[in-house]
Amino acid sequence: MISTTEQYDQAIGKCREIFIKKTKDYGTSWRVYRPISIVDQIFIKARRIRTIQENKKQLVGDSIKSEFMGILNYAVIGLIQLELPADAGDEIPPAVVGEKYDEQVARARSLMAQKNHDYGEAWRDMSQESFTDLILSKLLRIKQILANDGQTLISEGIDANYLDIFNYAAFALILIEEGKHGQG
């Protein structure tokens, strides 16, 4: 039987492959996104998933799986943007983008391992709808933090919310791959 870590790495590997190919196609055009724009990009994808879940009907060909992959990759963009200085420039070489992507994956993977230990992989019994709702909730939290000029009193910051979004999307992808959430 394949381990959670192996499943996680496989799901992320597919997302990374798409991310790097899009970087070669488009460059790092995402560098122009302001923080709220990244949140809105993830929101659009999560809202689409929720609408499909609620209506039980899909008219556009992009699958729910591809939307979760997009959510994961936009979370990486959000994390990279938070760490880059404002004057970093808009173009980043693909090799550097790959390194930065891998740094964020390492952070998310470490968090996943810690939480899996403490929560006993409770996510395996969660519905796809719950992952979608949790992602939407985290986006609303980020929006509020942005409205508060990035400041929190006792709560986690923007990066912690992006890491959770990343991991919820990864879990959804694993369960889709296992056939527990359909292929969407």
Which of the pair, 59 or 46, is modelled with greater confidence?
46
53, two tokens? 């879940």
Domain residue extents for the chain: 4-178
The tens digit of pLDDT for each residue in 14-34 reads 999 999 999 999 999 999 999
pLDDT of residue 86: 79
pLDDT of residue 162: 98
Q: How far apart are CA 80 and CA 90, in angstroms?
A: 13
Q: Residue 119, exposed/middle/buried by CB under 10 A (0-12, 13-18, 19+)?
A: exposed
- Tell if the pTM clears 0.75, that is, is over it: yes
pLDDT of residue 60: 86
b/e sequence 89-118, b meaning 16+ C-beta within 10 Å: eeebeeeebeebbeebbebbbeebeebbee
Dihedral, CA of residue 168, residue 172, residue 174 and residue 179, to nearest 10: 160
pLDDT over threshold 70, residue 184: no
The tens digit of pLDDT for each residue in 78-123 reads 999 999 987 888 999 999 999 999 999 999 999 999 999 999 999 9
pLDDT over threshold 70, residue 183: no
Which pLDDT band holds residue 133 (cuts at 50, 70, 90)? very high
Angle at 125 between CA 74 and CA 140, to 5 degrees: 35
b/e sequence 158-180, b meaning 16+ C-beta within 10 Å: bbbbbbbbbbbbbbbbbbbbeee
Q: How far apart are CA 65 and CA 170, in angstroms?
A: 10
Q: What percent of the chain has pLDDT over 70?
A: 98
Mean pLDDT of the chain: 95
pLDDT of residue 105: 98
Which pLDDT band holds residue 136 (cuts at 50, 70, 90)? very high
3, two tokens? 């381990």
How far, rounded to the nearest angstrom, does the alpha carbon of residue 112 sit from its chain's CA centroid?
A: 13
